[in-house]
Amino acid sequence: MKMNKAKVEEKQEIGKTKFTKEIEEFIPPAHVSTDMYDIEATSGDLSLLSKYHYKFKQDYQATHVVRPGTTEELSNLMKKCREYSIPMTIRAAGSSCYSSSTPTNGGVIIDMRRMDKIYEIDANNKTVRCGAGISWLRLIEALLEYGLGPKCYPTSYKSSCVGGFVVTSGKVGIGVLKNGIMKDAIKSVVLVKTDGSVETISRNSQGDLSLDDIIGSFGIFGAVAEVELQVSSLYTSMEMIGYSFKTFKMAVEFFRILKNNDTNRPFFLSLSDKNFEKYAHWTFPSRTYFVYAVYSDDPSATSQGVSFAKDAALKLDGLGIEDWYLKEKWRNLADTELNIGRWCQNLIFQEYWVSDNRIEDFYNFYTEKISKQKYRNAFYLMSGAKGGNRIKLFGLSDIKNSREFFGIKAVFNDITINNYKNKDNLYTLGVVNTFYFLKYDPERAEYLRKLKNKLDPEDLVNSYRLVKAKMRPWRVGLLFWIAKLLY
Ligand SMILES: Cc1cc2nc3c(=O)[nH]c(=O)nc-3n(C[C@H](O)[C@H](O)[C@H](O)COP(=O)(O)OP(=O)(O)OC[C@H]3O[C@@H](n4cnc5c(N)ncnc54)[C@H](O)[C@@H]3O)c2cc1C
């Protein structure tokens, strides 16, 4: 028996070497790595959950990190992986958490960030065609030369890539409230499907996959190699406003007034509590709840938006936030959520998708849940287009205190269940949150599962996302039940 196992391992080893040599024939060897540090660096994410997984499950970890530079290289790589039945994990900047882009079955991490070329900027028709691995920041800089800008992008724009936003839904971020969500801006994508075949998919495509299937797919149907986007002319003015409020009710009312003002829609809109301001910035203003909006348009429309906000805030006893703080806030917007990590050894968070009219109920349930908890917390809401918002709840914990870690996770679990019961859902699913999706949205999950079985019967690409879960609900339930008793 032992001999057999050794032989199997020996065969696998030969296979690995043979596989490595074969892919090095079409991808420069410098971009084919089996180095353990390279693998570690591309295997985790901010939610630190993958760290726990790799500690106990060595076989989750990849054996290769490969960085294709062109659609052809990507296609050949995926064909080769399919030939050897090697699992693939598509990864861009790794900023979408909950193990969205971390390996679960070993195999190859496909790092998309070499696919960062801009193929065409058409200033007349206001379109851009680029590699999916380009960061939003680089795209913004390139478009700037033509007086253009993306219609919307995530606040993680400094690192996160265009392809990552396309497949994680792109419903919340900068520009969405004014210009629509990512889906509205996509003209077409070039997709390398799970078998390595290449297909251009646009709104009128009649193939197996539609654009709607790819948006929010977390990469289970293949790798987006190129994206063609509608962009817009740069606005000629921009101004940020911020008001603080004594009560959550007043802050939400103000937030909704700004959100529903169709004449001057903010370019960016958020609501946060004092803890978020305290942990996310070096300094923070007084009062308890904060609404920030950025107006960007031609100068007269911008100033109309600003005065509209001022009038509305006055009626709700809003206190204007000083200019120096607003400047700091806007400059640091990309870092605010990351800054919270400075305050603890183990940052825990969950992201919820909450409809406009449920924000207060969500908040009341949340405050009731945390009223008996000792952990340090923070609340941050970012507006999506009309109808929905991403609420991010943070728990700051000590890595040595596992009771606290599981205690916070148990609170988030209760809130998640309540959220689904009220017809809302989670924003980021990844690997870890997929079991909630399977339980609470079985029809959508079944639709995706059928497509996945057809296109990727061996489940080699981005497995354990949306259609199949690594975690069992009863085990998670038991874990959180114990956690609540102990914490
Ligand atoms: C500070 C901070 C701010 C954030 N702000 C926002 C925000 O405003 N709005 C928002 O929606 N999210 C936000 N996020 C979440 C995250 O940044 C976004 O989801 C982002 O779009 C992910 O891009 P990425 O390049 O990091 O993708 P990754 O995290 O690397 O990948 C995300 C998922 O997409 C898949 N994938 C990546 N590239 C491709 C591709 N080319 N083809 C197929 N599949 C692919 C991966 O397998 C994975 O499942 C934020 C995160 C942080 C840390």
Rounded to the nearest integer, the mean pLDDT of the chain is 92
Our answer on whether the CB atom of 94 is closer than 6 Å to any ligand 1 atom is: yes
Nearest to 259 by CA among 303, 300, 292: 292
Question: Based on the number of CB atoms within 10 Å of its own CB, is 118 exposed (0-12), middle (13-18) or buried (19 or more)?
Answer: middle
Gap from CA of 308 to ligand 1 centroid (Å):
34
- Whether 156 lines ligand 1, by a CB cut-off of 6 Å, is yes
Whose CA is closest to atom 15 on ligand 1? 96
- CA 363–ligand 1 middle distance (angstroms): 26
- At 52, the pLDDT band (50, 70, 90 cuts) reads low
Mean pLDDT score, 410-439: 95
Tokens 């008001």 identify what position?
243
* Domains in the chain: ranges and CATH: 12-113 (3.30.43.10), 115-233 (3.30.465.10), 237-426 (3.40.462.40)
Whether 209 lines ligand 1, by a CB cut-off of 6 Å, is no
Q: What is the pLDDT of residue 51?
A: 67
In this prediction, residue 10 has a pLDDT band, given cuts at 50, 70 and 90, of low
The reported pLDDT for the residue numbered 471 is: 80
- Contact (CB, 8 A) for 66 and 32: yes
In sequence order, the 6+-apart residues with CB closer than 8 A to the CB of 18 are: none
Q: Helix (H, G, I), strand (E, B), or coil: what is residue 318?
A: coil
Report the pLDDT value the prediction gives residue 171, as an integer from 0 to 100. Answer: 96
- Cβ of residue 178 lying under 6 Å from some atom of ligand 1: no
pLDDT (average), residues 347-354: 95
Specify the pLDDT at position 2.
Answer: 43
Q: What is the 425 CA–ligand 1 centroid distance (Å)?
A: 18
Q: Is 214 in the pocket of ligand 1 (CB under 6 A)?
A: no
Residue among 86, 105, 79 at smallest CA distance from 15: 86
Q: Could you tell me what percent of the chain has a pLDDT over 70?
A: 94
- For 322-336, how does the pLDDT look when each residue is reduced to its tens digit (9 = 90+)? 998 899 899 999 999
Q: Per DSSP, what are the bridge partners of residue 382?
A: 270, 390
Ligand 1 pocket test, candidate residues 70, 96, 136, 159, most atoms within 8 A of CB: 96
Which pLDDT score is estimated for 473? 80
pLDDT at position 140: 98
- Does residue 15 or residue 378 have the better pLDDT? 378
Q: How far is residue 18 CA from its own chain's centroid?
A: 35
Percent of all residues in the chain with a pLDDT value above 90, rounded to a whole number = 77
Q: What is residue 400's predicted lDDT score, i.e. its pLDDT? A: 81
| Nearest-atom index, ligand 1, CA of 174 | 8
The residue-averaged pLDDT of 227-248 equals 96
Strands (E), 31-143: 32-33, 64-66, 88-91, 108-111, 118-122, 127-131
pLDDT at 345: 86
Residue 375 has pLDDT above 50, yes or no: yes
The three-state secondary structure class of 319 is: strand
Q: What is the mean pLDDT of residues 110-117?
A: 98
Ligand 1, atom 52: closest residue by C-alpha: 156
Per the model's pLDDT, the better-predicted residue between 57 and 144 turns out to be: 144
Is residue 42 scored above 80 in pLDDT? yes
At 135, the pLDDT band (50, 70, 90 cuts) reads very high
* Residue 150 Cβ contacting ligand 1 at under 6 Å: no
Length of the chain: 487
Does 168 sit in the ligand 1 pocket, CB within 6 Å? yes
- At 394, the amino acid letter reads F
Integer Cα distance of 399 and 250 in angstroms: 37
Angle at 289 between CA 283 and CA 293, to 5 degrees: 80
Give 340-391 as a DSSP string: GGGG-SEEEEEEEEEEGGGHHHHHHHHHHHHTT--SEEEEEEEEBSTTEEEE
Long-range contacts of 417-423 (CB under 8 A, 24+ apart): 418/365, 419/352, 419/354, 419/362, 422/358, 422/361, 422/362, 423/355
Ligand 1 atom having least distance to the Cα of 165:
21
The pLDDT of residue 478: 86
CA separation, residue 41 to residues 36, 45, 88, 271 (Å): 8, 9, 16, 33
Question: Ligand 1: does its nearest atom lie under 6 Å from the Cβ of 269?
Answer: no
Q: What is the pLDDT of residues 246-260, one digit of tens each?
A: 999 999 999 999 999
Per-residue pLDDT for 3 more than 50?
no
Q: Tell me how far apart the alpha carbons of residues 353 and 347 are, in angstroms, rounded to a whole number.
A: 20
Burial classification of residue 106, based on how many CB atoms lie within 10 Å of its CB (0-12 exposed, 13-18 middle, 19 or more buried) = middle
Helix (H) or strand (E) holding 37, with range, is helix 36-41
pLDDT digits (tens, 9 = 90+) for 435-449: 999 999 999 999 999
- Give me ligand 1 centre to Cα 43, in Å: 14
Would you place residue 1 in the very low, low, confident or very high pLDDT band (cuts 50, 70, 90)?
very low
Taking the C-alpha atoms of residue 20 and residue 29, their distance in angstroms, rounded to an integer, is 9
* Tokens encoding 61: 């970890």
For residue 13, is pLDDT > 70?
no
**Which H helix or E strand runs over 190?**
strand 186-193
Nearest-atom index, ligand 1, CA of 168: 19
